[in-house]
Amino acid sequence: MSQPPPTRIAIYPGSFDPLTNGHVDIIERGARIFDKIIVAILVNVEKTPLFSEAERVALIQEVFKGQPNVQVETFDGLLVEYAQRKGASVLVRGLRAISDFEYEFQMALMNRHLAPGIETVFMMPAEQYTYISSRLIKEVFMLNGKIDGLVPPVVEEQLRAKRAGRSKPQD
Ligand code: PNS
């Protein structure tokens, strides 16, 4: 009797502070190719994120609530060790421009050095998202710039709440 094909699990790691439509685009592409894609939020004790880990998990879960093969988790420590624990054989990363390449190239090769059985797969988002990053979204939005169409509506809503909280007069 033939064996059922193995389940292909991919990890899409990042900070996602916050999730942008560029991330959404990559997750959707990944979900079409792999049996399961785990969006893995790095727990970074050194950074002070705008959104807490719990907020980021909740936002991504909300955006992908109709898609059972998209899961959301947090991780710390080495990415490849986390991937091995999850039984994943693929790391997905988005490539927006040449400027991303050097950093991504180094990470992919270091991860291969650490875990030769895990492959990094790069995907390009749709052109209209190639210039956006979480960092720019936060900066522009907090300075009252418009970001419509660049993040999911629930993320924009939460950004609005953060901005309102920050502009309250201090005691
Ligand atoms: O999209 P980001 O925020 O640049 O993601 C960076 C991330 C989370 C992929 C990277 O920092 C990471 O993998 N951190 C976990 C620690 C680790 O494994 N470091 C070695 C990477 S070669």
Ligand 1 atom 7, closest CA: 14
Q: Which residue segment(s) compose the domain that 89 sits in?
A: 9-163
Domain with residue 108: its CATH number is 3.40.50.620
Residue 78 CB less than 6 A away from ligand 1: yes
pLDDT at 46: 74
Question: Before 6, cis peptide (omega within 30)?
Answer: no
**Structural domain contains residue 168:** no
Residue 15 CB less than 6 A away from ligand 1: yes
Distance 4 CA to ligand 1 centre (A): 33
Q: What is the mean pLDDT of residues 105-120?
A: 98
Helix pair angle (53-63, 153-166), 10° resolution: 150
pLDDT in tens, 4-36: 777 999 999 999 999 999 999 999 999 999 999
Q: Per DSSP, what are the bridge partners of residue 53?
A: none
**Structural domain contains residue 134:** yes
pTM of the model: 0.94
Q: How confident is residue 124, by pLDDT bands cut at 50, 70 and 90?
A: very high
**Structural domain contains residue 171:** no
Residue 94 CB partners (closer than 8 Å, separation 6+):
22, 23, 25, 26, 100, 122, 123, 124, 125
Q: Please report the atom of ligand 1 found closest to the CA of residue 76.
A: 15
Chain position carrying tokens 């005691």: 171
Number of neighbours of residue 137 by Cβ within 10 angstroms: 24
When the pLDDT of each residue in the chain is averaged and rounded to a whole number, the result is 94
**Structural domain contains residue 80:** yes
Percent of the chain with pLDDT over 90: 88
pLDDT at 168: 59
**Structural domain contains residue 4:** no
pLDDT in tens, 146-156: 999 999 999 99
Distance 61 CA to ligand 1 centre (A): 21
Instruction: Quote the number of domains for the chain.
Output: 1
**Catalytically annotated residues:** 23, 47, 96, 134
Pocket test for ligand 1, best of 16, 43, 79, 138 (most atoms within 8 A of CB): 79
**Structural domain contains residue 2:** no
Does residue 171 carry a pLDDT above 60?
Answer: no
Structure token pair of residue 10: 């991919």
**Structural domain contains residue 102:** yes
